[in-house]
Every structure is written in structure tokens, then in C-alpha cells.
Chains A and B, each alone.
Chain A
Amino acid sequence: MQLTVGPNQFFWKADVWSDFYNQMAAAPVERVVLGELVCSKRLPFYQDHIPAAIETLLEAGKEVAVTSLALVTLKRERKLTAELVDAGVEVEVNDLTTLAYLPKDMPFSVGPLVNVYNEGTLAWLADRGATRICLPPELPLASVTALAAEGAKRGVTVEVWGHGRLPLAISGRCYHARLHKRTKDNCQFACEDDPNGRTVRTLEDQPFLAMNGVQTLSDSCASMANQLEVLRDAGVNALRLSPQTGDFPGVCQVWRNRIDGRIDAAALSERLETLSGGMRLSDGFLTGARGADWSRKREGEAA
């Protein structure tokens, strides 16, 4: 089972951003996807640092890809998306617009924000040149199993969301701006104050969601800690770890330890809860009644 570090979903200061990818060069992961996924307005603040980060990661032997935006509407965003083709590394498509710019003979990967729900869609993307697909986090195990089998048949590496706040929705509206009674065009980059997103609570003070500019995430940190064996059996090839602040190299390391059999599911869950500063874990999309659910395993129980 490979580990992929997905694109950072949040707005981090440029030096924090660069430090993060320097750390990832030394982290025990096979692949890193970077670039701006959520909001094109953030990109100018760290765009100049991207080539150096790519170089550092490639030198460290990582596979590297750049992501498209999740929602491409403006002319400027179309131009940015078209230019990804010239980045010199693989493009991860997170909005299908990207396919309009990719030459037919250029292999690409598909991110979790593209709706790959069935074999027909996977097959079409494979024919078009997809070599790797990270499935939408919403899929239940039966779908993941069927798609992993189809992927194996067509030579497509199948990845699943392994760790991190779940990307649940993308909008034209910026919720951070709305929270500050501003419009998106005059957002004053309010999302920068919340480098892991801002928790949204119910009126009963139950943590529920997290806002991140135009994106809405889960409050819980999705984790496949208890599902590793199930996913392996299903034929899944890779897990995606989604960046957050704090000891993320530590998160990568405990995941590697779990994959290599050095710690069990319960130990991993416990370590992840500590490393993520007490975030609640969830894996309900895969096996629960609802996405927010968590299949807690007690010590000694089979994973």
C-alpha cells in the first residue's frame, strides 16, 4: 500500500507552505500532490515557491503531481488550469475542465473531487489516459471494491482517502468572507486565520463541519486506520493523507508504521488523535451508516 500526500486544502503562509514540502521530501511517502485546489485567489501568495518544492521532492525520489483547482469558472482560472500542462510533472485533475487542455497522449491522474462512481466512468477516464484515480471519499466499500477491480483490469492505480478532513462541498460563495460580512471579491483572505479550517458547530455545540473559504469540510478527521486490511483485500493500491498543520511528518510516519505492520489499528488511531490535537476520527462513508460515523476498535480486537 502506497502513501500519497494530497494537495494542501488550506491557505498557509508561503514560508509555512515551503517548510511543509521540505519536510515531505523526508517523509515516508511515495507520492506528493501539490498546488492550489480550493481558491485561485490564494495562489499568488506562494506560486513562486512551487517549482522549488517540486524540485526538492523529485530529488528526494518522490512521485510528484500538480493539482487543478476544484472549481474552474473565471477566465483567469481557465488560463491557470491550461498552464498546468506545462508544469513538467503529472497533472491531477480535480475539475474535468482540465481534460479540455490535456493533450490526448499525456497521461494524468484523477483526484477525489472528480465523480468516479462506477466502472463505466473509470473505463472512460482510463481510455483518455488516466493512470491513477483517487476515489471520491463518499463511496461505500462495495463501490470501492468494484472500482479497484476495474482499475486493476485497466492498469489504473486506485487510491482512497486515508486521512484528513473530508472535502464535502465546493461553492461559488466564500463562507469565510460571509462569516466576516464580506463578499468573495473583498474577502481580505479571512481563511488565512484558520490553517486547518474553522469548525462549524450545531446549536447544541456539537462539532459538525469546517469551513475553508469556498470549501466545506468535515469537522472530523477521516481515517482508514481500521480499514487497512479491508482496503488491501479490496485491491486498493494507495491511501491519501491530506495535509494539516502540526506534526504532519509524524502522521505520515505512524501510517507507514501501520502499513508495515509495526503498529495495529488501535495504536494508530490513538496516535492520530494525539498528533491531530484531539480531532475526532471518522470512516463512516466506507462502512458506517453515515459519513460522520467511526468504527472504533478496542485494543486486542481484530482490525
Chain B
Amino acid sequence: MEIVCPAGTPASLRAAVKAGAHTVYCGFADETNARNFPGLNFDRDEMREGVKFAHDHGAKVLVAINTYPRAGGEAIWHRAVADAEASGADAVILADLGLLAYAAKHHPGLRRHLSVQAAAANADMLNFYASEFGVKRVVLPRVLSVPEIAAINAETEVETEVFVFGGLCVMAEGRCSLSSYATGLSPNMNGVCSPASHVEYHDDHGALSAKLGGFTIHKVGADEPAPYPTLCKGCFSAGDATGHLFEDPVSLNAEKLIPQLAKAGVTALKIEGRQRSRSYVAQVVRNFRAAVEAQAAGRPMPEGMLAQLTEGQAATAGAYKKTWR
């Protein structure tokens, strides 16, 4: 299986390629991609050089243009697609219907992948995107179990790519405006979720309380680890219950499911984390490359190799196991 790795910077791209990434995904430094964080992403020259570096080392580059273009501002997204093609990128990752239609019409030779932000969650939808827009690969939303992924692959020729490691969206991706409800900024429109610009920490009689847009997301004691206040992983109360009502502060680690995902017909395994450091990326890539090679050779999976890299030391296999729901 193909390992698809994040690159938030040119240095991360080179680190990922050297560590054995088959494919790297990245974005332009603007609102056209879903990791629009300060200090991240590529300008046009860096993209061209990054693609050349990857190609020279036998790796591919995918350009994520996966926010939803702003009404009145679509030209910015159209230019991003044109510049991705000009940079020599192997494919673009898109979510918006209008942008898919535009790319299919004006850049027919540029391979199109469907972003997880489009949340295409069944075979009919994959086939719809393939027939309407010539989509060759779909990144599946994190709402599906492994048997459901297998069933999808049995009914479609479209390649599937699934997340195996890193941040975990609890909601169907691209269909969540929790962040903009609290902060005004959202993944769909601005390429950010629970943005750091809207986070405040307060010392509350020895406890550290973290607020997002003025809403308290969690409170931890002085000696406890303080996870980043991502909205859906906050601590809230409803009726008599108090706790992580939506999701615990965990991240995804599906390394142990690699053999099952391979059997389910998945083409590519995706690692989240364009905001992560290049050493993190390199370490994760090396481990996953070793794991898929072990799988291909019929050797046992290396055990628990990435535990120390997961957020807050806690990991989940998410929706891949049906009981998560």
C-alpha cells in the first residue's frame, strides 16, 4: 500500500521523502487548503522545487486545495489549481463541487482526488464523483468501519485512501461548523479548526482553564497535561454527566489495522499532520513504511511503535472499529 505523508513545509517534504514516503501532500500558503496555519505551507516556487525534489527521489506530490471557495473569491482557488498543475504535481485534492467541475473542465489532464472534506461515505457517492468529475481517488471520511470500507471497495473502481495516524475528526469532515460557531473561523471557509488565535488560558485557583472564543473547553489541574483545546475533544456537561461528551483527547492510530485495511482493498494510507515538525513526520513515515513492507511480505506487524507520538499519549482506532460509534 501507498503511504501518503503530510508536508507543512519544504523541509518536511524533503524529510518525508527521505524517510520513505511514497507520496507527500501539501498546500499553498493561503486559505485554499485545510491547514491554513501561520508559518506553514508552500509558495509557488517552493511547490515547484518540492515537486522536483520528490520526483527526483521517486515520490509523488498531491496538492490539497480542499477548502470551499468563498463566494466572490473563486479566482484564488482557480489559480491554485492552475499553479498546482504548472508545478508538475501528480494530483490535486479537492472537495468543492464547483471547483471539481472547474478543474475537470479547464485542467482535464490534472488528476483529481476527492478530499476527506467532501465526506463521501458510500460507494454510490464515490461512483458519482468518478462519473461526474473523473475523480480517481477518494479520501474516506472517518465515520466508516473496516468492513464498510471493504464493502465500498467491492462496489467501486475508484481508489480509496484512509487516515491511519494523527488528528482525528469526530464529526464527518467538511460538514462541521462547530469551530466557526465558537470563533468565526472554520475548516470549510478558512482552513482552520479551533484556531490558536482564539485560544486563551486562565489560571483558575491553581487549575488551568482553556477557552476557545470565550467558551471553556477544558480545565486541568496544575500537574495534569493540558491538551490543546480542540472543540470536539473538550470537557462539557449534559444533564448529570460531565466529561468528554464527544471524544476524549485522543488521536488516531490504526497501525494495527494495516493488514485488515489491505484486505479491504484500500490503496493508500494517509497520515495527518501538516502542522507537525519534520522530525515527527520522518519518524511516523519510517514506521508506517516498515509496517506496510512487513504486511506486503507477510511478516507480523511491528508492535506499538508509535504510541509515544500520539496526542496526550492516548490513541484510538476510531470508527474503524464499529463499537466507537
A177 CA / B238 CA spacing, docked (Å): 13
Contact A289 B184 (CB under 8 A): yes
Contact B178 A209 (CB under 8 A): yes
Docked complex: A92-107 residues within 8 A CB-CB of B: 95-97, 99-101
Question: Is residue A162 within 8 Å, beta carbon to beta carbon, of the partner chain?
Answer: no
> Chain A residue with minimal CB distance to B324?
A173
Contact B239 A203 (CB under 8 A): no
> Chain B residue with minimal CB distance to A288?
B184
A97 CA / B125 CA spacing, docked (Å): 5
Question: Is residue B297 within 8 Å, beta carbon to beta carbon, of the partner chain?
Answer: no
- Residue of B99, B143, B148, B239 near A171 (CB, 8 A) is B143
Contact A115 B216 (CB under 8 A): no
Known: A201-B236, A290-B213. A138 touches B325 (CB 8 A): no
Contact B121 A72 (CB under 8 A): yes
A73 CA / B101 CA spacing, docked (Å): 24
Docked complex: A120-142 residues within 8 A CB-CB of B: 120-125, 136-139, 142
Known: A118-B69, A171-B171, A285-B180. A72 touches B101 (CB 8 A): no
Q: How many contacts A-B (CB < 8 Å)?
A: 217
- Residue of B170, B188, B238, B239 near A115 (CB, 8 A) is B188
Question: Is residue A266 within 8 Å, beta carbon to beta carbon, of the partner chain?
Answer: no
A36 CA / B102 CA spacing, docked (Å): 33
Question: Is residue A224 within 8 Å, beta carbon to beta carbon, of the partner chain?
Answer: no
- Residue of B124, B182, B232 near A292 (CB, 8 A) is B182
Q: Mark B96-125, 1 if CB is under 8 A from A, else 0.
A: 111101100000000000000001111011
Contact B215 A97 (CB under 8 A): no
Closest chain A CB from B246 CB (angstroms): 6
Known: A73-B122, A147-B71, A173-B324. A216 touches B171 (CB 8 A): yes
Most chain B beta-carbon contacts within 10 A, residue among A71, A125, A142, A168: A168
A3 CA / B172 CA spacing, docked (Å): 29
- Residue of A99, A173, A199, A292 near B319 (CB, 8 A) is A173
Most chain B beta-carbon contacts within 10 A, residue among A100, A174, A184, A185: A100
Contact B176 A198 (CB under 8 A): no
Contact B239 A198 (CB under 8 A): yes
Q: Mark B209-252, 1 if CB is under 8 A from A, else 0.
A: 10001011111000000000000101111110110011100000
Question: Is residue B174 within 8 Å, beta carbon to beta carbon, of the partner chain?
Answer: yes
A115 CA / B119 CA spacing, docked (Å): 11
Closest chain B CB from A212 CB (angstroms): 11
Question: Is residue A172 within 8 Å, beta carbon to beta carbon, of the partner chain?
Answer: yes
Question: Is residue A291 within 8 Å, beta carbon to beta carbon, of the partner chain?
Answer: yes
Contact B72 A143 (CB under 8 A): yes
Contact B245 A124 (CB under 8 A): no
A113 CA / B188 CA spacing, docked (Å): 13
Given the complex, which residues of A lie within 8 Å of B144, measured CB to CB? 73, 172
Given the complex, which residues of B lie within 8 Å of A183, measured CB to CB? 322-323, 325
Docked complex: A254-273 residues within 8 A CB-CB of B: none
Closest chain A CB from B31 CB (angstroms): 12
Contact B236 A203 (CB under 8 A): yes
Given the complex, which residues of A lie within 8 Å of B97, measured CB to CB? 96, 115, 120-121, 124-125
A171 CA / B324 CA spacing, docked (Å): 11
Q: Mark A7-35, 1 if CB is under 8 A from B, else 0.
A: 00000000000000000000000000000
Contact A169 B176 (CB under 8 A): yes
Question: Is residue A248 within 8 Å, beta carbon to beta carbon, of the partner chain?
Answer: no
A4 CA / B188 CA spacing, docked (Å): 26
Given the complex, which residues of A lie within 8 Å of B194, measured CB to CB? none
- Residue of B217, B238, B247 near A179 (CB, 8 A) is B238
Contact A185 B322 (CB under 8 A): yes
Contact B143 A175 (CB under 8 A): no
Contact A284 B184 (CB under 8 A): yes
Question: Is residue A281 within 8 Å, beta carbon to beta carbon, of the partner chain?
Answer: no
> Chain B residue with minimal CB distance to A115?
B68
A158 CA / B234 CA spacing, docked (Å): 36
> Chain B residue with minimal CB distance to A138?
B177
Known: A118-B98, A216-B178. A184 touches B74 (CB 8 A): no
Known: A100-B125, A120-B102. A198 touches B178 (CB 8 A): no
Question: Is residue B287 within 8 Å, beta carbon to beta carbon, of the partner chain?
Answer: no
- Residue of A172, A200, A202 near B143 (CB, 8 A) is A172
A209 CA / B176 CA spacing, docked (Å): 13
Closest chain A CB from B194 CB (angstroms): 12
Contact B186 A138 (CB under 8 A): yes
Contact A118 B96 (CB under 8 A): yes
Contact A101 B124 (CB under 8 A): yes
A288 CA / B185 CA spacing, docked (Å): 12
Question: Is residue A208 within 8 Å, beta carbon to beta carbon, of the partner chain?
Answer: yes
Given the complex, which residues of A lie within 8 Å of B73, measured CB to CB? 118
Question: Is residue B256 within 8 Å, beta carbon to beta carbon, of the partner chain?
Answer: no
Supplied contacts A173-B325, A177-B325, 4 more A-B pairs, CB within 8 Å = A100-B127, A115-B175, A166-B177, A291-B184
18 residue pairs bridging A and B, Cβ less than 8 Å apart: A96-B97, A97-B128, A101-B124, A115-B97, A117-B68, A117-B71, A118-B73, A120-B97, A120-B99, A124-B98, A166-B177, A169-B178, A171-B172, A172-B144, A183-B322, A202-B217, A203-B236, A216-B171
B positions within 8 Å CB-CB of A:
68-74, 95-99, 101-102, 119-122, 124-125, 127-128, 141-144, 148, 151, 170-172, 174-178, 180-184, 186, 188-189, 209, 213, 215-219, 232, 234-239, 241-242, 245-247, 319, 322-325
Closest 4 CB pairs of A and B: A120-B98, A172-B143, A121-B98, A291-B181
